[in-house]
Each structure stands twice: as C-alpha cells, then as structure tokens.
C-alpha cells in the first residue's frame, strides 16, 4: 500500500517543479473529482453539499467541501507550495570570459547551496502575456523539460580549502552555465517557444531553477524516498489525498496550500495575507451565515499546519533534542515550541493525538534542542488573520532545503489516513 503511495507521491513531485505546477496538478485532481472552480473576481453561488476550490496568483489554493446540513465548525489543513530555489532575474544572460553564457539568478528562500552543484538542472515557472483579443493578462506554465543548465563546482586544485567549509556567494558561485557564446540572446526565445509565443510577447516572468534528478525509493527495504520539494509538497499531497478520501460531512473541510512560506509568507497569496480569511468569510456570506455564525464556527474549528519536520540525522544525532527525536517512518511529528514559533498547545495537541488514535496512526514529537533556535512555519502567521486552535505537525525528513531531500516511505500514508479521519 505505502509503496503505491510513495510512487504516486514521486509522480506528483516530479510533475511539480514549481509552486505553479503543484497548484495546477492539485487543480486537475479536484476537477477530476467534480469540484467547481471559483474565481475571486466573479460572484460565487454556493450550495450545501457543494465542493469548490479557488486559487490566488496560481500559486496558492483553497479547496473546501460544504456539509449538507448545518456545519459544526471547520477543519483545515494548511501546507505550503513553495520550496527554496534560485529565481531567474530580469536580463537573465551574463557572459563569462567572452566564451560562455550563464544565467543571472538570485536565491529564493534559505537553501542548502552545496547540493545544487554538478547536477543537471532546468527552468520552470510561469510567464505572463497579454491576450490581444480580450485585453486580459494570461499566465502560462513553463517547464523546459530537459537537462538545460548546470552549476559547475570549482576544481579542488583551484580551491584546496573546498572541503574545509565554504561560504557561497550567490552572485559569484551559484550562476548556472547555459551555453557557449553562440547561446547569447536565446534564453528568452527558448522560454517563449516552449509556450508557443514570441519573446516580445512575454511581459513578465517568474522562472526558477529545479533539480532534474528523478525521485528515488531506496534503502534495504525501500524504506526511504528522496526527491526535491518534499518540504512541503509531501504534506500538500497527503492533505489533498486525505481531503478527497474523507467524508467531509460534519465539519466544513478545507484543504489549503499557500505560497511564499520560504520567504516569510508576506505576499498577497501567503499565510500572512487575507486569502484564507477572505475565503472563509466569503463562504459564510454566500451561505447566508452571519458574522456571529462565522465566529462561532471558528471557535469550534481546528487547523492542522502541516510542514515537514527534522528527523534525527544518522551522522549528527547530537543535533536533536535528547527526548523528542523523530525518526523516518516513525509517524506524524507534532512540533512544540515554548515561544510559540509552533502553535501547538496542550489543547491542539490533544485534539490531534485523538484524531491519530482514531485513525490508528503513530505520532512522534519534535522540539528543538533548548540551545538551538529552530525554523518557523505558516501556522502562527496564518493565526494573525484567522485565529483558531492550531496544531503544527509535519512528516519527518532529512536534508531539509536541499534540492534532493529524504523522507520515510511509510509516513505519507500515515498523514493521508489522519487527514481522512480529520475530514469527517
């Protein structure tokens, strides 16, 4: 069962090189299940028992299912669609030594730099063109689906200290090689051609590098899965699968995937934005509920903020807390932090443990070592807009923010089962 889940996850990850592709793939899965797509700039007509989704910026998505009868409250799982990478700048080509063309890139989020070197990479994202007939701006997905660029390391002979720690300079070290001088002036044409337009028609672009290495399921008993973007598409994928499998009858079920978590969530489509608040209040308005009904429902709701967690590293076991040390395939990780970087408290932990108990899914716990500052996530940021009981969880993984991360092959299935139970 879980090898099938891992293979399905691998396909989803490989087909989702950027947040735009991840959202597009979720949108297709929802349309296949007869969900209705809503547009933020058009009137909504919603019915009890109806199933809908809405996107913002084509990079965040909220799907929801309205109970047939009076809702008891809301059940929300929120994850994120973006991952650390390198973004292609405006004026993307740079010459080197009159012989080479490189791409001018800048970092997006806090990536591990070393694993980006010496491996085939490509470019994906979106472009925006203006449709001459309608005058509308149209976004088109881009994926140059072949080995296109590579960031070559400097030979050990030219930096004898390379294995003794290296401070990467994003403007010097991380620029990928695109071609010899004959490639000059061709990059935007290549992008345009892949979308069936000309380079002058491209009025804007959000293009990113991605690792071309396919997903792998490996280990003595094929217990591990490695791929780019496990953080956080593993949670987004499991949330969607559980959402589609759940009964969604008692509570309004909400599958929410937000962009820009890796850069602080402060965009119009990020967790700090009004996207979730706007959507939930609009649903209430369209169904004829009052503002007080919304507040009552919110007080009877639970949000699972699902973002991957650090497993104990086999070569660095001292980096984990002495007692709260998740392992791969050990189950869903509940994250705790006294300073509330994670939202989990006694109440939300209890509610989540109860769900996992009913679903017969193992849970483990994570805290940072008390002498180490940890990362943050979207739960507490989202709570500044929509405040409700929230538990921070994730699936255990290694090498977070590498372009090739590793997780447990069993854990995706655990989150699908827990999500299915949650969306009752």
Note the residues at the interface with Co ion (CB under 5 A).
231-232, 307
Which tokens sit at 220?
A: 């003595």
How far apart are CB 201 and Co ion at their closest, in Å?
Answer: 35
59 burial via Cβ count (<10 Å: 0-12, 13-18, 19+):
buried
Name the DSSP letter for residue 402.
S
C-alpha 12, offset from chain centre: 12
Measured over the CA atoms of residue 395, residue 396, residue 397 and residue 400, the dihedral's sign is: positive
What's CA 342's distance to the chain center, in Å? 18
Report, in Å, the least distance between residue 261 CB and Co ion: 6
Q: To the nearest whole angstrom, how small is the minimum distance from the Cβ of residue 263 to Co ion? A: 11
Structure token digits, residue 86 = 């390198």
Rounded Cα distance between 187 and 354, Å, is 53
Rounded Cα gap, residues 106 and 91, in angstroms: 12
Q: How far apart are CA 167 and CA 188, in angstroms?
A: 31
Which residue, 93 or 307, is less far from Co ion as judged by CB? 307
Q: How far is the CB of 12 from Co ion (least distance, A)?
A: 16
Q: Which is nearer to Co ion, 65 or 79 (CB)?
A: 79
Listed residue (222, 226, 231, 242) closest to 415, CA to CA: 242
Q: How far is the CB of 301 from Co ion (least distance, A)?
A: 23
Task: Tell the smallest beta-carbon distance from residue 336 to Co ion (Å).
Answer: 17
User: Among residues 45 and 340, whose Cβ is nearest to Co ion?
Assistant: 340
Q: How far apart are CA 187 and CA 193, in angstroms?
A: 10
Closest C-alpha to 190, from 174, 210, 207, 211? 207
Cβ 393 to Co ion shortest distance, Å: 12
* Phi, psi for residue 415 in degrees, rounded to 5: -70, -35
Task: Using the minimum distance from each CB to Co ion, give the nearer residue, 23 or 66.
Answer: 23
> For 316, what's the count of Cα atoms within 13 Å in the CB-facing half-sphere?
8
Closer CB to Co ion, 65 or 265, in the complex: 265
Task: Measure the CA–CA gap between 376 and 385, rounded to whole angstroms.
Answer: 17
- Considering the complex, state which of residue 58 and residue 307 has its C-beta at the smaller distance from Co ion: 307
Q: Shortest Cβ distance from residue 397 to Co ion (Å)?
A: 10
Q: Which residues contact 164 (CB under 8 A, 6 or more apart)?
A: none
d(CA 218, CA 223): 6
Q: Which helix (H) or strand (E) segment is 217 a member of?
A: strand 216-218
- Give 93 or 392: the residue with its C-beta nearer to Co ion: 392
Select 231 or 421, whichever has its Cβ closest to Co ion.
231
Shortest CB 307 distance to Co ion, Å? 4
Query: Between 259 and 307, whose beta carbon lies closer to Co ion?
Result: 307
CA dist 189 and 277 (Å) reads: 40
């Amino acid at each position: 069962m879980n090898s099938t889940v891992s293979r399905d996850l691998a396909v989803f990850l490989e087909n989702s090189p950027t947040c735009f592709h991840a959202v597009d793939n979720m949108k297709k899965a929802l349309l296949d299940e007869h969900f209705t797509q809503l547009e933020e700039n058009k009137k909504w007509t919603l019915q009890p028992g109806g199933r809908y989704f809405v996107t913002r910026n084509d990079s965040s998505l909220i799907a929801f299912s309205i109970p047939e009868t009076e809702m008891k409250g809301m059940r929300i799982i929120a994850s994120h669609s973006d991952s650390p990478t390198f973004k292609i700048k405006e004026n993307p080509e740079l010459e080197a030594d009159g012989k080479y063309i490189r791409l001018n890139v800048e970092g997006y989020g806090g990536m591990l730099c070393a694993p980006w070197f010496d491996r085939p990479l490509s470019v994906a994202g979106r472009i925006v063109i203006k449709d001459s007939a309608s005058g509308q701006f149209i976004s088109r997905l881009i994926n140059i689906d072949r080995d296109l660029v590579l960031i070559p390391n400097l030979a050990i002979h030219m930096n004898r200290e390379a294995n003794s720690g290296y401070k990467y300079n994003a403007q010097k070290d991380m620029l990928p090689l695109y071609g010899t001088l004959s490639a000059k002036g061709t990059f935007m044409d290549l992008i345009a051609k892949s979308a069936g337009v000309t380079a002058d028609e491209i009025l804007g672009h959000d293009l990113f590098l991605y690792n071309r290495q396919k997903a792998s399921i490996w280990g003595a008993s094929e217990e591990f899965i490695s791929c780019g973007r496990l953080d956080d598409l593993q949670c987004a994928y499991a949330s969607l699968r559980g959402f589609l499998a759940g009964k969604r009858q008692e509570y309004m079920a909400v599958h929410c995937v937000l962009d820009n978590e890796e850069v602080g969530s402060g965009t119009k489509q990020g967790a700090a934005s009004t996207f979730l608040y706007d959507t939930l209040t609009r649903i209430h308005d369209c169904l004829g509920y009052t503002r007080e009904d919304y507040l009552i429902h919110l007080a009877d709701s639970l949000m699972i903020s699902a973002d991957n967690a650090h497993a104990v590293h086999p070569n660095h076991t001292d980096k984990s807390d002495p007692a709260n040390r998740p392992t791969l395939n050990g189950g869903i990780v509940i994250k705790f932090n006294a300073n509330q970087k994670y939202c989990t408290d006694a109440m939300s932990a209890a509610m989540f443990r109860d769900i996992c108990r009913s679903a017969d899914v193992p849970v483990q716990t994570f805290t940072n070592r008390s002498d180490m500052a940890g990362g943050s996530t979207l739960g507490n940021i989202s709570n500044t807009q929509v405040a409700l009981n929230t538990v921070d969880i994730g699936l255990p993984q290694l090498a977070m923010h590498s372009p090739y991360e590793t997780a447990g092959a069993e854990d995706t299935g655990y989150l699908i089962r827990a999500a299915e139970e949650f969306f009752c």
